Amino acid sequence: MKFGGTSMADLERIRRVARIVAAEAEAGKRIAVVVSAMAGKTNELVAWTDGAGRSAQGLPESDDEYDVVVGSGEQVTSGLLAMVLRNMGLNARSWMGWQVPIITDDAHGKARIEDIPPERLSAALDGGEIAVIPGFQGVTRDQRITTLGRGGSDTSAVAVAAALGAPCDIYTDVDGVYTTDPRIESKAKRLAKISYEEMLEMASLGAKVLQTRSVELAMAHKVPVRVLSSFTEPGEAENQGTLVCDEEEIVEKRIVSGVAYSRDEAKVTLLGLKDDAGTLSSLFSMLAEANVNVDMIVQGQARVADQANLTFTVGRRDAGRAVEIMNRAQAELGFEELRVDEDVSKVSVVGVGMRSHVGVAQSMFKALADKGIKVQAVSTSEIKISVLIDAAYTELAVRALHAAYGLEQV
């Protein structure tokens, strides 16, 4: 079981979480609970580290101490939940990341889990103990605390479930995965099941229900993940929420399962770019070395011979860094003009049924054209089509595509 920051926001909500955990314990289940920090607490801790300032010249950067500070929010909530459970007469104990242990690499602030030896934790559960584990934190092999990056508690929960050979219930402030954002389309429907691949695409495309790395981990280890509302009454979770599972477990496969969107996009255009075999290799190598993630790429012929026009998209936060890199390399790349547009968004349709059905793209472009929405760039995979559009049309596009694929009837 995993509970997010909204679920753990104060003592009253922690007591509600404890009642949900107690109901599962009374049903005879072995339980490990992963918790996030109280809502807003991690941001406060990050601000404190910013206020402490950088290391003096000649000393190592304080990334390791950053993790000590920002990982403490989950330590508080895990201890409080264990205390409340004991107050209710249940045998509970908190387990810090280093006690489990959740072993990670040493990439502080964005560590990746390498191993979770299950023996100690499994023995405690077999003895009837409820284990309460702080999400988001781990420990290196040389015993330094690490954190897994934003949304890392989802990853912690799935990793613990994989180590124990157990399913994973993730309780959040929504009651499942919807066909699109219900705040934009009131006719959005909750999905009973969604495949790992579809969930991974939707998470990477802007759906914020689950963190991308947690879905990757669940898919790799075949961990069934159920998304539930933390406001579900204790004992009423059965047949609620959305099950994220293997595609083979979904009997009726939809052509399209959902519409996702992201406003965190920036479009970079290079006009009059030198058109030879090595230019694109050089350009994207520079961006990769600076950890700038490129998404959509469109190249077209310029009006002048031996020149091309290139458009690519990056996250809005990376736009400034990308422009700086391009300007520094202008002589090498040989482009004439650089343009940046941050007033764009990406809208995507996702579904495993695309593999075996034709006409999905035609339906998408017709629905957008009928609303007068111009497509600026396109990218595809086996189970998704994404388009870049003017940000002003984001909500209109989401509603049009939701209707075009009949998702209100799911």
Give dist(CA 266, CA 96) in Å, integer. 40
Domains delineated in the chain: 2-248 (3.40.1160.10), 259-409 (3.30.2130.10)
The confidence score (pLDDT) of residue 236 equals 66
Give dist(CA 6, CA 203) in Å, integer. 19
Decide if 369 contacts 323 (C-beta within 8 A). no
Quick one: which H or E segment has residue 114? strand 113-115
Burial of 19 (0-12, 13-18, 19+ CB in 10 A): middle
Rounded alpha-carbon distances, angstroms, from residue 364 to 360, 397, 407:
6, 10, 13
Q: Which residues in the chain come in under a pLDDT of 50?
A: none
Question: Percentage of the chain surpassing pLDDT 90?
Answer: 76
Beta sheet of 92-94, edge-to-edge order: 92-94, 130-134, 32-35, 2-3, 168-172, 225-229, 242-245, 193-195
Two tokens, residue 247: 């595609």
* pTM, entire model: 0.84
> Tens digit of pLDDT for each residue in 321-363?
999 999 999 998 989 999 999 999 999 999 988 888 888 999 9
The confidence score (pLDDT) of residue 150 equals 80
Backbone angles phi, psi at 39, to 5 degrees: -50, 125
